[in-house]
Amino acid sequence: MDYKEALDFLYNSLPMFQRIGGAAYKAGLDTSIALASLFGNPHRAFRSVHVAGTNGKGSTSHLLASMLRQSGYRVGLYTSPHLVDFRERIRVNGEMISRDAVIDFVNRYRAMHYDGAPSFFELTMVMAFDYFKRQQVDIAVIEVGLGGRLDSTNIISPMLSVITNISFDHTQFLGNTLPQIASEKAGIIKRRTPVVIGEDAPEIHDVFVNKALAEEAPIVFAEERPQVMASHREGDRWVLETRDYGTLTDELSGDCQVKNANTVLTAVDELRKLGIALPDDAVKDAFAHVCELSGLMGRWMIVGNTPRTVCDTGHNTGGWQYLSGQLRHEHYRRLHVVIGFVNDKDITHLLEMMPREATYYFTRASVPRALDSHILAGMAHEKGLHGDSYATVKEAYDAARAAAAPDDMIFIGGSTFVVADFLEYTLPAGV
């Protein structure tokens, strides 16, 4: 079996949420527990930090992994979905899992003749844990896939849990109210294991407090004693004045990153209490170079300057609360928006949050779940958003690029998969 055949097996033999949506979602941990057992329960071989939340969990996970790496630990990082390369999901000290390791794992799994019909996510997660064990990582940062309580990753027993925030997303699985969604994400709170809550709100506060009390878990709300005391922009970076870590320069420039930074620094405080050595210099280095250290992409990612071109994976109301404001405050003559969504999400409120003055290039990503661009254009026109439809992200971006003047701005987003198609088209081979 070569690498392409291994990927084909993963993509085509297993239900994959990234491609087909709800049909691939499996609520429950039984399969994950059974799979992990087949491979010797590799998740018990290293310490871990578990990160959940509607938005910000990817940035938070990459920042924490970078800080731990800069502190001298050997660090695993498991995130999802990937944007360009499957191997982005599984990293050790910033380096993606090797192709040979993917092949080896698939071969070992197939030789077991397991008949439990795992999902793509379940098998990929166990691949990550097995790889981390074989690579002898000290600590792994594990990002929740969807929800928390019934997410496959919830078989781990972390030293620290982090829940970044709660907003509306995946309501068909997690519930239609913020307390219901919070309850699902609070499911990662473990017995006597400290938990950091990044953003608090009156309607969900008691959900977390009551779960923590039931589990006798120390709970810390990052906003109650904020680490970030002030912030301002210098070019495309945030400069953060912090309570205990001095002045930090944050490579991640999205408006949401100030709150993410506060969550991360509170998590650092808790890790230090647990005996994890995280020097101030390591914290500063991680903020300043997180993309280089961890491979993070797609978070207010600036990919061009004439015209200014930015992509972002924000795909729900929580993400667009920040994105819509950030787009309003950018300086440009004219805004061009390449946009697409998946077909199993209610996008009514998202369309209402998008700038009316922009020219839109409605498109669809190259996954079966993608919403037809003509249907999207019709829905958008009803909300006062105007533009043309394009069959692919490449065509939409090329049209925007052709129409844009040097002092214009192009934004690409709406769906993680639109950003993935865009980066695959524009990034140099091998990046």
Dihedral of CA atoms 405, 408, 413, 418 in degrees, nearest 10, equals: 10
CATH number of domain containing 199:
3.40.1190.10
Domain count, the chain: 2
- Other beta carbons less than 10 A from residue 327's beta carbon: 22
Q: What integer is the mean pLDDT of 256-264? A: 94
Return the ∠ at Cα 427 (arms to 94 and 67), rounded to 5°: 20
Q: Within this chain, do residues 40 and 137 fall inside the same structural domain, yes or no?
A: yes
Q: Residue 228 pLDDT more than 80? A: yes
pLDDT digits (tens, 9 = 90+) for 353-391: 999 999 999 999 999 889 999 999 999 999 999 999 999
Greater confidence, 335 or 346?
335
Domain stop point among 244, 278, 294: 294
pLDDT digits (tens, 9 = 90+) for 379-426: 999 999 999 999 999 999 999 999 999 999 999 999 999 999 999 999
CB 95 within 8 A of CB 119: no
Mean pLDDT of the chain: 92
What residue numbers bound the domain in which 413 lies?
Answer: 301-426
CATH number of domain containing 322:
3.90.190.20
Q: Within this chain, do residues 218 and 363 fall inside the same structural domain, yes or no?
A: no
Q: Within this chain, do residues 90 and 128 fall inside the same structural domain, yes or no?
A: yes
Q: Within this chain, do residues 413 and 268 fall inside the same structural domain, yes or no?
A: no
Q: What is the pLDDT of residue 254?
A: 85
Greater confidence, 171 or 153?
153
CB 188 within 8 A of CB 162: no
pLDDT digits (tens, 9 = 90+) for 120-165: 999 999 999 999 999 999 999 999 988 888 899 999 999 999 999 9
> Measured between alpha carbons, how far is residue 73 from residues 77, 277, 412 in Å?
12, 9, 36
Peptide bond into 307 cis (omega under 30): yes
Interstrand relation of 409-413 and 335-339 (parallel, antiparallel or unpaired)? parallel
pLDDT digits (tens, 9 = 90+) for 36-90: 999 999 999 999 999 999 889 999 999 999 999 999 999 999 999 999 999 999 9
Q: What is the pLDDT of residue 13?
A: 77
Q: Residue 21 pLDDT more than 70? A: no
